[in-house]
Chain A
Amino acid sequence: MSAPVKSEPLGRARVPVPSGAPRTSPRRVRRRSAGPWLYLAPALVVLGGLLAYPIYQLGLISLFHYTQAQVSGGEPTSFQGLGNYRRLFADPQFWQVLSATVVFAAACVVSTLVVGCALAVLLTRVRALPRLALMLAALGAWATPAITGSTVWLFLFDPDFGPVNRVLGLGDHSWTYGRFSAFFLVLLEVVWCSFPFVMVTVYAGIRAVPSEVLEAAALDGASQWRIWRSVLAPMLRPILVVVTIQSVIWDFKVFTQIYVMTNGGGIAGQNLVLNVYAYQQAFASSQYSLGAAIGVVMLLILLAVTLVYLRLLRRQGEEL
């Protein structure tokens, strides 16, 4: 929103002071310090109690030995220091799950971005009717709850009754049996439900590019690919950064799809990703402290991603 009107603090409205005038009135200073916090109070209470405090607890639990016995109060909790982390890092399964998560999330992000951007460009090439059809279909996919999307895609690829195997002539090939084909199936569902966000956002961004710029490029004989690479992509950079980071954050945290489609992590945990792994450790094996340690690792990784995002925003000179 590039509103030319510079917003001014509420407190200033009552006593119009020319901008740049020294701020001396004690009354206004007091207003200024109390006012915003009053407005922020409900948000801060909720976020403090249900986000910050649980994060603190998550860190705390990860430092203790905490299993079913401690939850029910049968045994006292014992401080472990970094023991849980040491156990975690010594576990080859953790590293396997971590690398699977990174590769899977990267594949999801790349596919989502490629499909989303390609379709956004396609949207600008067609007349109203096909555009409307594609938009509506995409909105439908976007609106579908992750859990129903997962069950529907499973049904589509069902070895016995699904239409996909029939069309491809695969017989009763099971997609969820092999590690890679199971991941691939989940990837398809994830891309299906997350490309619309990219498509709609990038499309809105392309529409905002002045047409003279594109005409000039076309007149100069630039090819479509060249126009995209040298004109559109740089102008869309801020939007591309936003959708990339959002996709990274979402895809790194994929839970429902893996949990439902591979039935809680696949055969012998072959399709586990960090999020599901943490949940299984905590709630299926009652290893609450190990689950919490995995949660902390995830938090740190996502925090790093967010910091990169903030740096990029800053470099673009965005005023917060």
Chain B
Amino acid sequence: MNLPRARVRRPWRLAAEASALVIAAVVAFPLYWMVLGAFKPAGEIESTEPRPWTLSPTLDSFRRVFGQQEFGRYFLNSVVVAVAVVIASALIAFLAATAVTRFRFRMRTTLLIMFLVAQMVPVEALTIPLFFVMRDLGQLNTLWSLILPHIAFSLPFAIWMLRGFVKAVPTALEEAACIDGASRARFLWQILFPLVLPGLVATSVFSFISTWNDFLFAKSFIISDISQSTLPMALLVFYKPDEPDWGGVMAASTVMTIPVLVFFVLVQRRLVSGLGGAVKD
């Protein structure tokens, strides 16, 4: 909305800009405080006169975090689970989204509604039956017990969102490819797939975040073999309600937040346009 600039009176615009900057600072403050807390020496964190800066930054807290038994292992587990879920759900959702946009068949609308309904299922409530499913499959304490449910839970939203991207690829392209003798598989993977890739990236953000952030499944399904645990569990080691090691918690939080932030900044534009597409569609 580009209102004619002259109509927004100057003092008002300045006030708006000032408040935008103040709000930005307030919104960013918790993140700043987190990073600051990670670098502060122990004496300054546990001080009753907290200062919003530090003159003697130290890596002590990070050392404690990385020195924790198997922290590297936790990090690696988190990465493995998140990458596996992102790739698997992107591929499966791509095929499904193609099916519901490029074909007309009976039950198409029913299926779409079911995908929509599936989005609202409270994951946490299903922890109970999933626990038994995983136990029966013998997958408790393995990374599969985290990967499989997360694929299932990120699929409905991914399909729903990808639909718009697949739809936007003109059918003429498909016809041209067919006339040139491309097989259906070839069209799918060599023409449609690259064209939909931006949408896949935007969709991946959501599956990545929900998988990366999860601590409920990790807490419930990885019960005895700690070496299969993920990052959030490592963070909770430092967070004991009665006497939290705030330096360690902030350092671990920083380590856990950075990959998501990087991912977000990388796909930021796609994400916004992807959302716009999903919403308007």
Residues of chain A touching chain B, judged by Cβ–Cβ distance below 8 Å, are 1-3, 5-11, 13-14, 16, 32-33, 35-37, 39-40, 42-43, 46-47, 49-51, 53-55, 57-58, 61, 119, 122-127, 130-131, 133-134, 136-149, 151-156, 158, 160-163, 166, 192, 197, 200-201, 204-209, 211, 214-215, 218, 238-239, 242, 249, 252-253, 255-256, 260, 263, 275-276, 278-279, 282-283, 288, 291-292, 294-296, 298-299, 302-303, 305-306, 309-310, 320
Q: Given A152-B30, A278-B124, A283-B128, 4 other A-B contacts at CB below 8 A?
A: A125-B17, A144-B260, A166-B49, A279-B127
- Kindly name the residue among A36, A43, A276, A302 whose own CB sees the greatest number of chain B CB atoms within 10 A: A43
Determine if B159 is an interface residue (Cβ-Cβ < 8 Å). Answer: yes
Contacts A13-B175, A137-B27, A192-B30 given; does A145 touch B256 at CB 8 Å = yes
Q: Which residues of B contact A (CB under 8 A)?
A: 1-4, 7-8, 12-13, 16-17, 19-21, 23-25, 27-31, 33-34, 37, 45-50, 52, 91-93, 95-96, 98-105, 108-109, 111-113, 116-130, 132-133, 148-149, 151-153, 155-156, 159, 164-165, 167-168, 170-172, 174-175, 178, 184, 209, 212-213, 215-216, 220, 232, 235-236, 239, 241, 244, 246, 249-250, 253, 256-257, 260-261, 263-265, 268, 272-273, 275-277, 279-281
Whole-angstrom distance between the alpha carbons of A140 and B27 in the complex? 9
Whether the Cβ atoms of B264 and A139 lie closer than 8 Å is: yes
Neighbouring B residues of A158 by C-beta, 8 Å: 246
Q: Once bound together, how far apart are the Cα atoms of A123 and B27, in whole Å?
A: 14
Do B105 and A33 have beta carbons less than 8 Å apart?
yes
Partner of B8, one of A125, A249, A260: A125
When the two chains form their complex, are residues A275 and B20 in contact, meaning their CB atoms are under 8 A apart?
no
Q: Which 10 A-B pairs have the closest CB atoms?
A: A295-B125, A50-B152, A57-B129, A39-B99, A148-B253, A43-B96, A36-B103, A130-B20, A54-B129, A145-B213
Q: A13-B175, A201-B275 are in contact. Are A147 and B30 (CB under 8 A)?
A: no
Distance from A146 Cβ to chain B, minimum over Cβ atoms (Å): 5
B279 touches A215 (CB 8 A): no
24 contacts between A and B (CB under 8 A): A1-B277, A2-B280, A5-B171, A6-B171, A7-B101, A8-B171, A16-B175, A39-B103, A40-B96, A42-B96, A43-B96, A57-B132, A147-B236, A161-B46, A161-B50, A161-B246, A201-B276, A206-B1, A208-B276, A211-B2, A242-B279, A253-B122, A282-B128, A295-B126
CB within 8 Å for A145 and B17 given contacts A151-B235, A208-B276: no
Q: Are A3 and B167 in contact (CB under 8 A)?
A: yes
Check A140 against B31 for contact (C-beta < 8 Å).
yes
In the complex, A125 Cα to B257 Cα: how many Å?
A: 31
B152 near A46: Cβ-Cβ < 8 Å: yes
Residue of A nearest to B3 (CB): A214
A218 to B120, CA, bound (A): 40
B8 CB to closest chain A CB (Å) equals: 6
Partner of B215 from the list A124, A256, A294 (CB cut-off 8 Å) is A256
Chain B residue at minimum C-beta to C-beta distance from A215: B4
User: Across the interface, which residues of B come within 8 angstroms of A43, CB to CB?
Assistant: 92-93, 95-96, 155, 159
Q: Is the CB of B50 within 8 A of A9?
A: no
Nearest A residue (CB) for B127 = A279
